[in-house]
Amino acid sequence: MKQTVYLNGLFCPMEQASISPQDRGFLFGDGIYEVIPVFNRKLFKFDAHFDRLNNGLDAVSIRNPHTAEEWKSLLNQLIERHPWDNQFIYLQVSRGVQMIRDHMPADNLTPTVYAYTNPLKPVSDKIIQQGIKVVTLEDIRWLRCDVKAITLLPNVMMKIAAKNQGADDAILVGRDGLISEGTASNLFIVKQGELFTPPTSHKILPGITRLVIENIARQHNITIHDQELSQNDLEQADEIWLTSSTKDALPVCTLNDKPVGSGKPGPIWLKVKDYFETTKLAIIDK
Ligand code: PDD
C-alpha cells in the first residue's frame, strides 16, 4: 500500500518526501529519534516517549520544534491515514540543514522533522514456542547510550556480527564486564522467580517497555531488582528477555549456543506476556 509520511509540516506520499543532502542528520547523524507503538489505533505511552525525546534533544542542544499536543495531533493524523490497527511510528528530529561543513552547528538552524508509520506485526508462533538465539558481544557504542541518537552504526555492526554467528541478536557486554542491553532492546533476566534488569545509566537506553514491565511486575507481586548483571549472571539465568516497543518482551532461549534454563520460553515470561496484553487492552477505552 502507498504510505503517507509527515515531513516538516506536510503530509505527502513516501516516494515524494525529500530532504536536503546538507541536512546534518544525513551528514553527521546529528539528530534524535523515537519509536512509538500504536495498539488498537492508539498511541501507547506517548507521554513517556515525549519525555524521552525531550531529554535526548536537551542533551544534544536541539530545540523540540513541537509541543506534546502538536506531536500528538500530527502522529494521530499519521495513524488515521493508514489501515493497520497496530502500528509503530518512527519519528526523527535532526538539527537541520547547514550549507557549509562545520562540526559546530550554526546558530538558529530549523530542525528537520520526519515521521512515518509501519504495521506492527505480532511476534511469530515460532518465537513464542522456541524463543530467539543470541550471542554476547562487546558493547562498542559510545558513553551516552541513554540518548536515542540516530547515529546507530555500532548497533548495525553488532547486529550484523550476531547474524554472522548464526544468532538473531546480541546481548552487549560493556568495557566494565557488565551486561548493558540488546542491540535495540533492554534486557531482563529471571532467577528463582525474581526479575533483574540493569539500572538506568548512561550505558543503556531508558526503555519505555522496560518501564511498563517493571510496573507490571510490581502490580503482580513479582520481585524486581534494578541491578548490575555480570556475564556469569546471564549464563546462570533461568530466563532471559529482550524488550522493546516493537517486540514487547522476547524470550531468549539460546545464549552462545547453550540453552537458557529449560531451553524453552519460561513461566514468568508467559505470565508477564499475558499481563502485557491486558495493559495494551486497557488503553482502548482511553
Ligand atoms: N529501539 N535499547 C536500545 C538500544 C534500543 O534501541 C531500544 C529500542 C530499546 C528499548 O526501548 P523501548 O522499549 O522504548 O522501545 C532499548 C527501537 C525500537 C528502535 O531503535 O527501533
Q: What number does the ligand 1 atom closest to the CA of 88 have?
A: 18
For residue 205 and ligand 1, the question of a CB distance below 6 A is answered with yes
pLDDT at 161: 98
pLDDT at 286: 46
pLDDT at 282: 86
Residues in the chain, pLDDT under 50: 285-286
Within the chain, strands assigned E span 4-7, 10-13, 31-39, 42-43, 87-94, 112-119, 132-138, 169-173, 179-182, 186-191, 194-197, 224-226, 239-244, 248-255, 258-259
Choosing from 32, 34, 35, 51 the residue with most ligand 1 atoms within 8 A of its CB, the one to mutate for a pocket test is 35
pLDDT at 284: 60
Choosing from 118, 145, 185 the residue with most ligand 1 atoms within 8 A of its CB, the one to mutate for a pocket test is 185
Q: How far apart are CA 146 and CA 180, in angstroms?
A: 11
User: In this structure, which residue's CA is closest to atom 4 in ligand 1?
Assistant: 184
pLDDT at 91: 99
Spatial CB neighbours of 166, under 8 Å, sequence gap ≥ 6: 133
Q: What angle do CA 60, 64, 69 make, to 5 degrees?
A: 150
CATH of 125-284, one of 3.40.1080.10, 3.20.10.10, 3.30.420.10, 3.40.1390.30: 3.20.10.10
pLDDT at 285: 46
User: In this structure, which residue's CA is closest to atom 1 in ligand 1?
Assistant: 184
53-62 pLDDT, tens digit per residue, is 999 999 999 9
Q: What is the CATH number of domain 4-119?
A: 3.30.470.10
Q: Which residues are catalytic?
A: 148
